[in-house]
Every structure is written in C-alpha cells, then in structure tokens.
Amino acid sequence: MIPSSGVPVSVRMRPNDAYFELIADTLEGLESSARAQFLQRFFLAIAHVEIPEDKVVALWDEVLARKTYLSERTESHVSLQTALVDVLTSSGLLRVPVVLEYEDLKNLYRNAITDPLTGLYNRRLFTENFDKELNRARRYTHPLSLVILDLHRFKEVNDKYGHPRGDEVLRAAAATLKKALRTSDSAFRIGGDEFALLLPQTDSAQASALSRRVGVVFAEILRPLDLTISVTMDHGVSTYPQDGEQREQLIRAADERLYRAKKDNHRRASAEAAPPSVEAPATDRPGEAPKSAPSATEPAIPPAEPPIEMAATPQATAPVPEPPVSRAPTVPEVAPPAPPPPSPPVSPLQTSQPSFPVAPEEPRLYTVPRKAERVSMAGTNAYAVLGDQPSHRARVVDLGFGGVALDFPSEEGIPDTLLAVLHVPILPPVRVNLKRVWTKQLSENTVRVGCCFVS
C-alpha cells in the first residue's frame, strides 16, 4: 500500500502527470482495435517511433506495470510519465531522453540567450558570463578586459534612411565583432546601438588595439551601404583588476571612457565640418562698435602709446640693414616719380587707425584628414611574409588604407618594390605589392621601412 500524504492525488499532480493519467483512464474504456490505433499515434507523436498495432498494446501494458513496480520499490508515487520514459529508454525506442524534439529544445535555448536581429548574445547572458569570467580571472590571476562600444551618428541614419537601413548597420556591426574575436572572447548586444566585448586574458593595451582595429574593419564593411553619414564605433575600455574588481565598477569605468571618447569625437567632427574662419581685428569685439569707426557723438581717443612703424619685409622679425652713409650712389639720379593726386581730406575721427604697409599674407596650410587612422599592431603577432620565402619575414608595426610600416633586422637586401603577404589578427592573409617610401634606423638591429600599397 502506497502511503498517502493526505492531499488528494489530483491536487498533488503536476499538469503532465494529470494528462497521462487521463489518457490511461480513457484507454480503459476503448475497444482493443481503437486502443491500438490511438496508442500507435500516441507513441509516434511523443517518441517519433512507429510501433506495429499488435505490439503497441503490449508496450502500453508494460508501461502500466513499470509504474506500479517503481512505486512499490520506492514507496512513493511514481508518475506515469516517468514509467513511460523508463520503458522507452530501456527498449531503445527513445534516442534522446526528453519528451521534446531536440532541435526544438536547442531553438528555445538559442532564442533565450541571443539577440534576434544581430545574432549576438543578449544582455541577460552578458551579465551571467561577466560574473563567470570575473571568477575565473580572480582564480587564475589573469587580466579581463571589458569593451563597451556604441555607434556614433546612428540616430541620423534612422532619421534619414529609415529603420530598415539602420538594422543593416546594426548587422554590419555584429559581423565586424564576430570577425574580430577569438574563440575565448564573447560579443553581446546590450542596448539599441550599444555592444559589449568580454576579453579574457587581455590587458588594457591589447583591448584598446583590438577596439581600434574593429573600427577600421567596421568602416570597410559599411562601405557597400553607400551611406552619406559617417557612422563610426566609439569605445571605452576597462580592465580587471586595475579599474575595479566588481562587475559594476568595470562597467562604470568603461562607460565613463566611452562618454569621453564620444565628446572628443563630436568636438573633432564639429571642428572639421566648420569652414575656416578669419579672425576679426583685435580692436573689434562681438557686440561692440569697431574702434576704427567711433560714433559721431564720441571723440576719438588717441592711443596711449605712439603706433609702431612696421617695415614692409616678408618676415617682420628680420631687421633691414641701413645703407652706409658715406657710400656714394653709383647710378645717376633720376627724377622722383610724380606725387599721387591729393587724397580727399580725412576727418579727424578717421585718424585713430594707423596706416602702414602690410606684409603679403602667406598661404595657409590645411591639414587633410586621413581616410582612416593608422592602426597600431603593438601587442599582436602581426607579420609579413616577403616574396615566396616563408622564412623571410618582417614585423608589421602599423597598418592603414594607404600603406604599412615594417621592421627589418637590417637595411641590406630590402628592394624598393616587393611582394608581401600580410598576416594580421582580424583579417585573412592579404597579398600586396609594396613600394618603399622612407627608411629609418631605429637601433643596431632594427630598421623601420614605410611602404605604400601599389596596385
């Protein structure tokens, strides 16, 4: 006799148990042929196995007997579902020991931890993984870096092109992050246009270098979208244990650095977009009348000191030597040119601004911004294989769209043009033609050579 807790069975049963008990009760009232047809479909739906009608009733009776047997052995209530799984497993009819399609189970888990738009992990998994990686970093005394990124001017893309094009930009950002990561790294979408990277065993310098390379690759992936708005990736980096030992401290530090980077980029973009301005004379101030044109009711105020006469020389700082007094002229004197016609009388009110020769204005030099910054390869194993000789290598110092800088052990044997295969962390091997532009001897065993790409 199974002991009872005093609570009715129907109350203590889980929904699945009650469902199977209802099936058992219903089958008791069916004829043999109807019971066989029902059970055949039942086992096909629940275990994806086809059982002949002449055997399916016997299998069901075995399930009922196994339920009674297990309940007596354990002296507790064993559900019909438990007995069913036990019989199917021991008979080799249930390949996966769950009463659910395995692919459906994987899809449920995938949807629970990933962002549906980008395919990156979501914010909930970011929090869980962050705590796990912190515990591992503490246990093995390894650094752990956090990178928080967001898209600069992303809202302008949505406003101008619409949200479908904005979704394409988000997917491009996700594709960039997937390319940049090692197998031990993780990328997450933690907000609308905000992303995060967890980089185990990575210090601050390595994380910053990775973030800059991510920005360069992101610009390349965005190019086919033909956007007139320059969307870039801003980033902030924090590292355990230098910037904190708790998750909240590291997130706060990375957020603050991201905010400062966004302000700097906004200030830089505003300065590049503004046209070159001509400074007003020192005597003119905004909101004031120019000192060179005082009002008619105010007398002209003479300067406190006499005006300084300036020589009309190309460089104001170079003094002009005076000719010797005793030396006689060697050319005949000519009549001085006719004086210019008299100027109209000048009002005393106009004499406050002294007149003197003005040196010709030198041409202004405007800095042309790079198409993209040079990305430092410090802290990486980036290298170049020269020619077709795998043993002939040079270290890649930095890389840009225009060229590359390489370190050689000596200048001997370096041609003016060479063929190389570049191996950098986040790109596949790239075969390029290089032309030497400049050479600099850094030390006795290191010569740095700057090369441009040649098509």
Residue 318's pLDDT band (cuts 50, 70, 90): very low
For residues 157 and 166, the answer to whether their CB atoms sit within 8 Å is yes
Report domain extents, the chain: 9-90, 113-271, 380-454
The answer, yes or no, to whether residue 225 has pLDDT greater than 80, is yes
Residue 127's pLDDT band (cuts 50, 70, 90): very high
The answer, yes or no, to whether residue 125 has pLDDT greater than 80, is yes
To the nearest whole percent, how much of the chain has pLDDT over 90? Answer: 31
Structure tokens given for 318: 């170079």
Residue 448's DSSP bridge partners are: 407, 440
pLDDT (0 to 100) of residue 340: 55
Q: Can you name the CATH fold of 113-271? A: Alpha-Beta Plaits (3.30.70)
Which letter does DSSP use for residue 15 in this model?
Answer: H
pTM of the model: 0.45
pLDDT (0 to 100) of residue 352: 43
Q: Which residues, 6 or more positions from 60, have their beta carbon under 8 angstroms from its beta carbon? A: 27, 35, 39
What does the alpha-carbon distance between residue 21 and residue 15 come to, in Å, rounded to a whole number?
10
Query: Mind listing the pLDDT tens digit for each residue in 92-105?
Result: 776 655 545 556 55
pLDDT (0 to 100) of residue 338: 55
Mean pLDDT of the chain: 75
pLDDT (0 to 100) of residue 79: 82
Residue 360's pLDDT band (cuts 50, 70, 90): very low
Query: Mind listing the pLDDT tens digit for each residue in 228-264?
Result: 998 999 999 999 999 999 999 999 999 999 999 888 8
Q: How many residues does the chain have?
A: 455
Query: Mind listing the pLDDT tens digit for each residue in 160-198?
Result: 999 999 999 999 999 999 988 888 899 999 999 999 999
The answer, yes or no, to whether residue 14 has pLDDT greater than 80, is no
In CATH terms, 380-454 corresponds, of 2.70.98.40, 2.30.110.10, 2.40.10.220, 3.40.50.150, to 2.40.10.220
Burial class for 76, CB neighbours closer than 10 Å (0-12, 13-18, 19+) = exposed
- At residue 91's C-alpha, the angle toward residues 89 and 93, to 5°, is 65
> Looking up tokens 């930095």, which residue turns up?
398
Stronger pLDDT, 355 or 83, i.e. the higher one: 83
